[in-house]
Every structure is written in structure tokens, then in C-alpha cells.
Amino acid sequence: MIEIDDITKSYSGTVVVDHVTLTIQPRSICVIVGTSGSGKTTLMRMINKLVEPTSGHIRIDGEDISGIPAYELRRRIGYAIQGHGLFPHRTVGQNVATVPKLLGWDKRKIADRVDELLGLFQLDPAQFRDRLPHELSGGQQQRVGVARALAASPNILLMDEPYGALDPVIRAKAQEDLLAIQRKMGTTVVLVTHDMEEAIHLGDTIAVMDKGKLLQCARPAEIIANPATPFVAELIGTSERPFRLLSLAKVADHIEAGDVSGEPIEASASLRDAYAELLWSGRPALPVRRDGQIIGQVTLAALSRLAARPQ
Amino acid sequence: MSIAETTTSTDRPAWLALDKLGVLIAIIAAAGAALPFALFRANRIVLGEPRSLLDALPSFPSGFLIGVLLVGFVVALLRFPVLAKLIAGFLVLAVLFVFIGWSASYLTPEGDTFARVSPGAGFWLLVFAFSLLVTDALTRLRFAPLVRIGILLAVGVAVAALLWSGAWNDLSILKEYATRAPAFWAEARTHLALAFGSVAIATVVGVPVGILCYKVKPLRAAVLNVLNIVQTIPSIALFGLLIAPLAWVAANIPGASAIGISGIGAAPAMVALFAYSLLPIVSNTVVGLLSVSPAAVDAAKGMGMTGTQRMLGVELPLAFPVVLTGIRIVLVQNIGLATIAALIGGGGFGVFVFQGIGQTAMDLVLLGAVPTVALAFAAAVVLDALVEMASRGGRRS
């Protein structure tokens, strides 16, 4: 658990982060959203002491981080940034091995861990271990960057706009990878982005920041349904609200009994995808398929109800 | 009409067209062939009598040389494959170097120890033209760094073989060498010690100063400005300026004169060369460190590397090619500049240059100048190759 307690950061009189209090639950993904200059990155960088707060405290699992030497704290926290920040003169394997090496692991253990992580990120170790970063595609570099951040199995992973430089297709893939790996490892992820879509897709909780202040911190459904301020509403996009709400739930959770014909939709798809398909094909209901079997239907009427503002 | 024209022009072989640089090379070579190939003098200080290509050698070798030059001329002028140009260039240069020695033996009257034969303007222009051909071909072929060092070594071995075989023994420059061989090697050692020593000390001092300037921003402008001013002091003035303080040090600090410090001699020369070397090394260290990808530095910090680990593990390795470029600049600069050390009794190849000027003996000037130029050239080739090897893969982020 990360407890941010009344944190303020000011640079020569200019307040960048203004009395922010925020608790991040263990094994969850917290996405900090805001426009540029909102203080979101500064807030995140205070968690691993890349920025020293002007006042306030941050506790990790109850321990105040001000008492921990910065380099020691940082080796316990994964750190992945936009543009990946790989060391261009070191091979992929050496990059991933950075923190384990700083922690003084033995060679055998480091080599095994590097191969394990590359495999986890679908990079064949034999093929990629000894390449230099510039020989990789943007998506591959980004994956190596995250693999490097996770090398020493940190409890916490900080990510600063990690997908900012990727094209939409690769970004979607990278987001799925992150969700899968987070679920598998149970890492607490703090991710900074300006993209509300990404925040809703990835976040267990979303913290919205503007001009240094924390405007709202809640689950995505709550943020969409009840934005705390007009700014939060604007960030979500008024006309997008019903669709964002639908995107949070899966078809599997809203199957009705019934038998309709036509092209089926997978149970794992989001309600938003189902809604789009219903509108596009002009049908009132779609059969739902799971593992190749039709297991029910999803209806336009039900989705319209679900898309309405929760009471 | 136009279509027919295009067809005929594509039928023409690719080599049958003018090479742009080749035209220039051909013009220089033609001028070189027209100017005197060698100079004959009855003794070492009188004015020379020019000998043309036809007079400088017996008729058969003279004809052979002209034939080789014609082939080289055509290969340079037209668009032959680059490798062919390289080989032709090297062959012409080899023939020129062998034949100038032959010419010296041919022109020197039997048993005459006063007569001097030196290469004429024509020879130098021909060497220049075909060196241009070779260097241009080498640039275009983009050989790997190690291959370039290998080629340099091969050329060095070939020149050494020519010297050792005695083929050049009748050339004036080697006659000058013969009378002062021990002095030549002593001055060579001094010259190398001055050039390499000053660069080594400047590197040991300059890189940490550069790191400091990078870390402490207010210091940066101050230090770089001071070094800039040092760089603008004319070298002779700097040598002169150092005489008084170093003489004072020698006289007043115990042990200083015992380790060779004095107002004139090698000490002020070393200090001056060191001072000139600092700016390029310090500024290249700063620029190199500043050019390291900020994302890489931020990531290093965020992963828990300490300041020293970041500097040694990330920042310096990434800045290294730029630092090495600075070292290359000062090494080549100092090899040339060290000749001036002779003015204040510091020794080095400059001794022959200034003696030669004093005696109006150009051959003696060449004895000092040619090794200096060769040394600087070799240093440039080797360090360029090292810079390229160091920057492999590393620079892009």
C-alpha cells in the first residue's frame, strides 16, 4: 500500500503539487490522469524520491520513505518511462539485468531471470538477449523497458506515459500485456497518462489531477457516472460517457437467455464492442459465444439500459 | 530523336563518363607531370636546377613511369569502380616513390658527396593528386575501422621497406638524415614525448574538469571561457610568457630544477602544449555528457544507480566517442605544434626545421617536416578509426 499524505511540492514559489492525499491499494493499478503541467508526473516521481516533497509524507507499507536512502528505495521500485530510457550501449540482456546487478545477485540467477522476463514479454531470449536496443522496433524497446523495470520483482511499478510513443495497435497490445502481467505478479502499478481512454481501460482506480490538485480519485465507473468537477467531466468527454461506461463491463456478465441467429460475439468482448456490433449490423440481439459454444444472447435493450447514468 | 539519344547513352559502359573529383585530380596530375620531377643541386644550399620527367630518369624507366602515370590519369578521370581507383592510386604512388629514389641515384654524379637531388614540385603535385585519389576512394569504400588501420600499417611497412632497402639513400633528405641519424632519433623521442605526454596529461586533467563543469553549471561558462582565452594566445607568445614564471619556479621551489623544470627547454613547451589541449578535451567532455539521452540518465537514476554508478556506467561510456574526438583533435594539433618547442630549446622535429631555415637548407627543413606530417596523419587515421569503433551502436537512443 502506498499512502500519500498531504504532499506538496513547490519550485521557488510555484506550487506544482498542492496538498495531495491519496492511498493506493496493494496489487491494484492506479492511473494518474491530467493534462500536461497538472503535476501528475511530479507526484509519481516523489514516490521513488526522484523529486523530494516540500512538505508531507509518503509511506510504503507503513514505512515513511524519507528515512530510506534514495538509491535503496529506487531499487525496490520498478521504473518505466516514455521513450523507454534503455541504455543504448548495453545489450537487451544487460539492460534487463540492471537492477539485479545493482542488488548483487549472482550471475546464474541474473541470467535465468533475464531469460524468464524476455520470455514473459514474448521476446525470444536467444534472439534478443545480445542485441543492442537500437536494433529493436519501438514496441520491442518498450517491452524491454518494462521487463527491465520488473527485473527484481518489485512490489511497486511506476510508469510515466509508458505507451506515449507507440502506435495505437502496438499500444493496445502493450496494455493487454501489462494487465496480464500485473494480474500474474500482483504488482502495485502507478501509471501516469494524459489519455482518459487508457486510464479507464487500465485503472482499478483513477486519480484526476489539475493544476497540482487532486480533483477526484475513484473507480472508473464512479468517475464516469459522477465526475467531481466540470474539468473531470470534460476530461472524460460528455458525449463519450455512455460508451466509456459500457467499455468497463464484459459481455460475459450480461448474458440473457434466448436464442438468436447470426454472427455471434465472444463472451470476453466488452459491452462497448457488442453495442457497436449491434448498431452496425442493425440487429436487436447478438448470440454470445464462449469456447465455440453459443451460450445465450446480449440485447440492444439491455445495453441501452446499462449505458444510462447509474442512479 | 530524344528517345534514340537516351538509348545510345545507356548503351555506353558505365565507366565511360567523367568523374567529378577525377577531373580535378587529372588537372593536378597533368600539372605535376609538366613541372620538374626532381631538382639537382651541386651542393645543399645553392638553388636547384629542375629536371623534367624525361630528364630525371634513364629513357626506359622514364617511359615506364609516364605510361603508369597515363593509366592512373585515365582511371582517375573516368568513372571506374572505386576499388579499381584505389588500387590504381596505390600503384601509381608506389611507382612514384620507388622512381624518385631511382632518379636521385641516376642524377647524382658517381662519387659526388656534395651533390643533392630532391623531389621537385612536379613530384609533390603528382603525389598530392594520387593521394587525393586514394583518400577519396577510401572514404567512398567505407572500410571498417580495423581495415583502415590495417591499410595504414601496410603503407607504413611499405615505406619502412623502401627506407631500409636503401632505394632512397641518394635523396637529399636521407643524406641530411645520414649525417645526423642519432640526433634525428633523439629529437623524434622528444617530439613524441612532448605531443603524447601533453595530451595524456591534458586527458587526465581535462576529463575530470569536464565532468565537474557538467555537474556544476555555474562553473561551466567560467572554465570554458578561461580555456577559450588560453586558446587564443599565439603559441610563440605563450612559450615566451611561460619563461619568467617557470624560471622563478625553478629558482625558488626546491627540487623543481632537479626534475627538469626551467625557464626554457622542454618544461615550458610541455606546459604550453598542455594548456592548448585542455579546451578541446574539457569542452568535448562537457558536450559529450550533455548529449547523453536524458531518458537513459533518468532511467538510471530511477532504477537506483548512485551518482558514481551513473557516471561510470552510463554517462561516460555514452559520452566516450565525443571525448575521444576531443583527444583526436588535440593529438593531431600537438604533433604539429610541438615543432615550435624547438624555438625555446624544447627539442623535437622542429630543431631540424629551424636549423634548415637558418642554413637555407630546405632538405633539412623537410627532415623535420615530413615525419611530423606523417605522424599527425597516422594519428588522425588511427584515432578516427577508434572513434568510429567506440560509437558503434551506442549513439542512437
**What's the pLDDT tens digit per position in B281-299?**
999 999 999 999 999 999 9
Beta bridge partners of A10: A15
Q: Which of A21, A8, A162, A139 is nearest to A78 (CA)?
A: A162
For chain A, say whether B6 makes contact (Cβ under 8 Å). no
Strand ranges in chain B using DSSP code E only, listed in sequence order: 38-41, 49-51, 116-119
Nearest chain A residue to B315 by CA distance is: A87
Q: What pLDDT is attached to residue B233? A: 84
Quick one: chain B helix, strand, coil %, rounded to 5?
Answer: 75, 5, 20
Residue type, B59: S
pLDDT at A6 over 90: yes
| CA–CA distance, A118 with A145 (Å, rounded to integer) | 11
**Number of residues written out for chain A:** 311
pLDDT tens-digit series, residues B326-357: 999 999 999 999 998 888 888 899 999 999 99
pLDDT in tens, A235-269: 888 788 888 888 888 888 888 888 888 888 888 88
Which residues between 306 and 325 in chain B have a beta carbon less than 8 angstroms from any beta carbon of chain A? Answer: 306, 309, 314, 317-318
Report chain B residues whose CB lies below 8 A from the CB of A84: 295, 299
Cell representation of residue A220: 472508473
CB contact under 8 A, A134 and B314: no
Question: What residues are paired with A14 via a beta bridge?
Answer: A11
Confidence of residue A42 (pLDDT cuts 50, 70, 90): very high
* pLDDT tens, residue by residue, A47-66: 999 999 999 999 999 999 99
Average pLDDT over residues B41-58: 86
Q: What are the distances in angstroms from CA B220 to CA A122, B11, B56, B142, B173?
A: 46, 63, 60, 37, 48
For residue A30, which phi and psi values (nearest 5 degrees)? -110, 120
Segment B89-117 shows an average pLDDT of 89
The answer to whether B304 contacts A133, with C-beta atoms less than 8 Å apart, is: no
B297 and B271 in contact (C-beta within 8 Å)? no
A221 vs B: CB within 8 A: no
Per-residue cell: A146: 518494462
B396 touches chain A (CB under 8 A): yes
Predicted confidence at residue B397, as pLDDT, reads 35
Residue B21 to residue A156: CA distance in whole angstroms: 62
Select from A73, A87, A95, A103 the residue whose CB has the most chain B CBs within 10 Å, as the one to mutate to test that interface.
Answer: A87
- Indicate yes or no: CB of A134 within 8 angstroms of CB of B306: no
CB of A72 less than 8 A from some CB of B: yes
Give the pLDDT of residue B341.
Answer: 87
User: Cell 456478465 identifies what position?
Assistant: A253
Residue bearing the bigger pLDDT, A253 or B301:
B301
Please state the rounded mean pLDDT for residues A160-188: 89
Residues of A in contact with B314 (CB under 8 A): 87
CA distance B243 to B223: 24
Mean pLDDT, to the nearest integer, of A7-14? Answer: 91
The burial of B163, by beta-carbon neighbours within 10 Å (0-12 exposed, 13-18 middle, 19 or more buried), is given as: middle
Does residue A205 belong to the interface with chain B, where contact is any CB pair within 8 Å?
no
Sheet of A265-266, strands arranged across:
A265-266, A285-290, A293-299
In this predicted structure, the answer to whether residue B301 has a pLDDT above a threshold of 70 is yes
Q: Are A30 and A191 in contact (CB under 8 A)?
A: yes
Residue B27 has pLDDT above 90, yes or no: yes
Q: Is the pLDDT of residue B317 over 60?
A: yes
Residue B166 — pLDDT band, cuts 50, 70, 90? confident
B233 in Cβ contact with B158 (< 8 Å): no
Contact assessment for residue B292 and residue B264, using Cβ atoms and an 8 Å cutoff? no
- Which positions in chain A touch B321 (Cβ < 8 Å)? none
Q: CB of B298 within 8 Å of any CB in chain A?
A: yes
Interchain contact B296–A (C-beta under 8 A): yes
CB contact under 8 A, A85 and B296: yes
The minimal CB distance from B295 to the residues A71, A81, A98 is found for A81
pLDDT band for position B10 (cuts 50, 70, 90): low
Is pLDDT above 50 for B1?
Answer: no
Q: What percent of chain B has pLDDT over 90?
A: 54
Per-residue confidence (pLDDT) for residue B72, from 0 to 100: 92
pLDDT surpasses 90 at B200: yes
pLDDT at residue B5 tops 60: no
- The better pLDDT of the pair B245, A87 is held by A87
Could you tell me which of B179, B108, B236, B194 has the C-alpha nearest to residue B361?
A: B179
CA-wise closest residue to B280 among B202, B377, B198: B202
C-alpha span between B281 and B330 (Å, rounded): 8
pLDDT at A114 over 90: yes
pLDDT of residue B394: 46
**B395 pLDDT higher than 80:** no
Length of chain B: 397
Burial of residue B142 (CB within 10 Å: 0-12, 13-18, 19+) is exposed
Q: Is the pLDDT of residue B7 over 60?
A: no
* Beta bridge mates, A218: A206
Instruction: Report d(CA B340, CA B194) in Å as an integer.
Output: 11
Burial class (CB in 10 A: 0-12, 13-18, 19+), B50: middle
The beta-carbon contacts of B20-24 under 8 Å, at least 24 apart in sequence, are B21/B132, B21/B136, B22/B76, B22/B77, B22/B78, B22/B79, B22/B85, B22/B133, B23/B77, B24/B132
| Cβ burial, residue A259 (10 Å; 0-12/13-18/19+) | exposed
**Pairwise pLDDT comparison (A309 vs B68), residue with the higher score:** B68
Which one of B303, B311, B312 makes the best mutation probe of the A interface by having the most chain A beta carbons within 10 Å?
B303
Supply the pLDDT for residue B99.
92
Distance from CA of A183 to the nearest CA of B (A): 23
Mean pLDDT across chain B: 88
B295 close to A (CB below 8 A): yes
Rounded to an integer, what distance in angstroms lies between the CA atom of residue B124 and that of residue B29? 10
CA angle (A298, A304, A309) in 5-degree steps: 130
- Could you tell me the pLDDT band of residue A105, with boundaries at 50, 70 and 90? very high
Handedness of CA B97, B101, B102, B106 (dihedral sign): positive
What is the least distance, in Å, from the CA of B395 to any CA of chain A? 7
Nearest by Cα to B364 from B236, B189, B180 = B180
Using one digit for the tens of pLDDT, what is the confidence trace for B232-267?
A: 888 778 877 888 888 888 888 887 777 777 777 788
* C-beta of residue B244 within 8 angstroms of C-beta of residue B268: no
Q: Which of B71-85, B113-127, B163-177, B250-264 has the lowest mean pLDDT?
A: B250-264
Residue A134, chain B, CB below 8 Å: the answer is: yes
Residue scoring higher pLDDT (B260 or B388): B388
CB proximity B47 to A under 8 Å: no
Q: Is the CB of A88 less than 8 angstroms away from the CB of B395?
A: yes
**Average pLDDT of A263-281?**
89
Residue A68, chain B, CB below 8 Å: the answer is no
Res. A207: pLDDT tops 80: yes
Residue B293 touches partner A, C-beta closer than 8 Å: yes
The pTM of the full predicted model, rounded to 2 decimals, is: 0.81
Residue B217 contacts A, CB cutoff 8 Å: no
Residue A311 has pLDDT above 90, yes or no: no
By C-alpha distance, which of B42, B39, B145 is closest to B387?
Answer: B145
A152 → chain B, closest CA residue: B303
Provide the percentage of residues in chain B whose pLDDT is more than 70.
Answer: 96
Interval A102-123 mean pLDDT: 93
User: Which pLDDT belongs to residue A291?
Assistant: 87
Residues B299, A71: C-beta atoms closer than 8 Å? no
Average pLDDT score over residue span A29-36: 93
Task: Please state, rounded to an integer, the average pLDDT across all residues of chain A.
Answer: 90
- Dihedral in degrees, nearest 10, Cα atoms B363, B368, B369, B374: 120
Name every chain B residue with its beta carbon within 8 A of the beta carbon of A150. none
Cα–Cα dist B357/B201, whole Å: 32
Grid cell 535465468 is found at A112
CB < 8 Å to B296, chain A: 85-88
B9 has pLDDT over 70: no
pLDDT one-digit tens code per residue, B145-157: 899 999 999 999 9
Find chain B residues with C-beta within 8 A of A156's C-beta.
none
Q: Across the strands, what pairs with A15?
A: A10
Q: Does B300 touch chain A (CB under 8 A)?
A: yes
